[in-house]
Amino acid sequence: MSQAPVARLQNVTKRIGGRTIIDRVSLDVYPGEVFGFLGPNGSGKTTTIRMMVGLMSLTSGDISIGGHSVRTEYPRAAEQVGAIVENPEMYKFLTGYQNLVHFARMNSSVTKERIDEVVKLVGLSGRIHDKVKKYSLGMRQRLGVAQAVMHRPKLLILDEPTNGLDPAGIRELRDYLRQLAREEGISVFVSSHLLSEMELMCDRVAILQKGQIIDIRSIRGQAGEAVQQTEEALFDVDRPEAALGALQGEWSGYVADGRLVLSADRNAIAEANRRLVEAGIRVYGIRAKTKSLEDQFLEVTGSETND
């Protein structure tokens, strides 16, 4: 991506009591993307987020937000961030709206019009005058996000926002985060230990294990479509052995249960199909077996947690 990153972590390291909790973590978050920070319990997600929002100092390395270092220009970096770390503090006996007005008093740039705008952005217009104690978890979450983006930050940081939400709630969260990205140009940095949730929400995901980034990958392409990570393709053909022979040398494959099995991504499947047809093989069907992010995650991390 050619745009300047909204957040840049460079060799971020945190040592506590002689133990390295975060070890040279580097990543960039770009404008408008939903970036997932995925790792098992105890891998260091919350510690990293605390450093990003200035709740904890760095041992070495640097974090810049909107081009400002949290080490040397903290107030300017902090202006660019909205965050929900731990549970959002809301007054349950007040309405959602009264809560927002209360928090807006702490920031002179937030007008009444802006409050109305953020309420609409998170889809709370119909219920904003209800007391918070009547809100579902998902609605409290929305109110927390509304509060966090009132001052128009460039980056919204959410620590485990999907905790307790059902799959429909997670999709809704994704939808309004996307809306925020589109309408306000906000980038979102979101942590989770659950892959299935990250797959629903994020454009890219960094995988953290024992304080180190072990992988960063795209889940969605630029147009928002899911990136296909095909592992294998099964070709139903009239002469599987001949088909394998026709592709020999360029694809790795084998014949099983009368079918030709190839290791291939989407483009390679299309190309292999063309070759087979050219070689006079009849292709009755092709089935692509995609590897889920979960399979990939377990491959790189194993299934154990870090604690």
Ligand X SMILES: Nc1ncnc2c1ncn2[C@@H]1O[C@H](COP(=O)(O)OP(=O)(O)OP(=O)(O)O)[C@@H](O)[C@H]1O
Residues of this chain that interact with ligand X (CB under 6 A) are 16, 21, 39, 41-47, 193, 307
Nearest CB to ligand X, comparing residues 23 and 117:
23
Q: Minimum distance from CB of 121 to ligand X (Å)?
A: 28
CA 197 to CA 185: how far, in whole Å? Answer: 22
Min dist CB 6 to ligand X, Å, is 22
- Least separation in angstroms between residue 33's CB and ligand X is 21
Tokens of 240: 């599987």
* Residue among 19 and 105 whose Cβ is closer to ligand X: 19
Pick the closer one to ligand X by CB: 20 or 230.
Answer: 20
- Rounded to a whole number of angstroms, the minimum distance from the CB of residue 5 to ligand X is 22
Nearer to ligand X, 87 or 109 (CB): 87
Contact 263, 231 (CB under 8 A): yes
**Residue number, 192 or 273, with CB nearest to ligand X:** 192
Least Å distance, CB 46 to ligand X, is 3
35, 82, 208, 263 from 154: Cα distances, Å: 13, 8, 24, 41
Of the two residues 3 and 41, which places its CB atom closer to ligand X in the complex?
A: 41
Secondary structure string (H, E, C) spanning the chain: CCCCCCEEEEEEEEEECCEEEEEEEEEEECCCCEEEEECCCCCCHHHHHHHHCCCCCCCEEEEEECCEECCCCHHHHHHCEEEECCCCCCCCCCEHHHHHHHHHCCCCCCCHHHHHHHHHHCCCHHHCCCEHHHCCHHHHHHHHHHHHHCCCCCEEEECCCCCCCCHHHHHHHHHHHHHHHHHHCCEEEEEECCHHHHHHHCCEEEEEECCEEEEEEECECCCCCECCCEEEEEEEECCHHHHHHHHCCCCCEEEECCEEEECCCHHHHHHHHHHHHHCCCCEEEEEEEECCHHHHHHHHHCCCCCC
Least distance in Å: CB of 170 to ligand X?
A: 17
Nearer to ligand X, 47 or 64 (CB): 47
Smallest distance, ligand X to C-beta of residue 75, A: 24
Tell me how far, at minimum, the Cβ of 162 lies from ligand X, in Å. Answer: 12
For ligand X, the closer of residues 21 and 206 by Cβ is 21
